[in-house]
Amino acid sequence: MSLDQNDIAKLARLARIRIEPESVADLQQRLGDILNMVDTMQAVDTTGVDPMANPYDAFQRLRADEVTETDQREKFQAIAPSTEDGLYLVPKVID
């Protein structure tokens, strides 16, 4: 796929970036190379190939779902400037 200068200008506008006029040609070439690589990859026959989330067949080791902290709410609220019914009271900041 080939990009022209209008395509580059449109992409820059959509991405809200400024591209210097002297770098448009280089960017046009580099983006064209990327799009050609994507076209090449799409042409590969993947029939019978299972999709995978990780190329190393790795899995996430999870820790046991158990409580490791004790309830310290009373301790923390004892040093708070203002609390009520287990909640921290803060000054109103929006009228």
Profile the chain (95 residues) by mean pLDDT over runs of 10 residues.
Answer: 86 94 92 94 91 78 90 94 94 86
**Distance in angstroms (rounded) separating the CA atoms of residues 13 and 20:** 13
Distance (Å) of CA 55 to CA 42, 45, 61, 82: 19, 18, 17, 53
Give me the pLDDT at residue 66, please: 92
pLDDT at residue 58 in the model:
76
Q: For position 83, what pLDDT does the model report?
A: 94
> Is the separation of the CB atoms in 1 and 33 below 8 Å?
no
Domains and CATH numbers, the chain: 5-42 (1.10.20)
pLDDT at 1: 65
d(CA 67, CA 90): 29
pTM: 0.51
DSSP state of 86: T
Residue pointed to by tokens 């990327």:
34
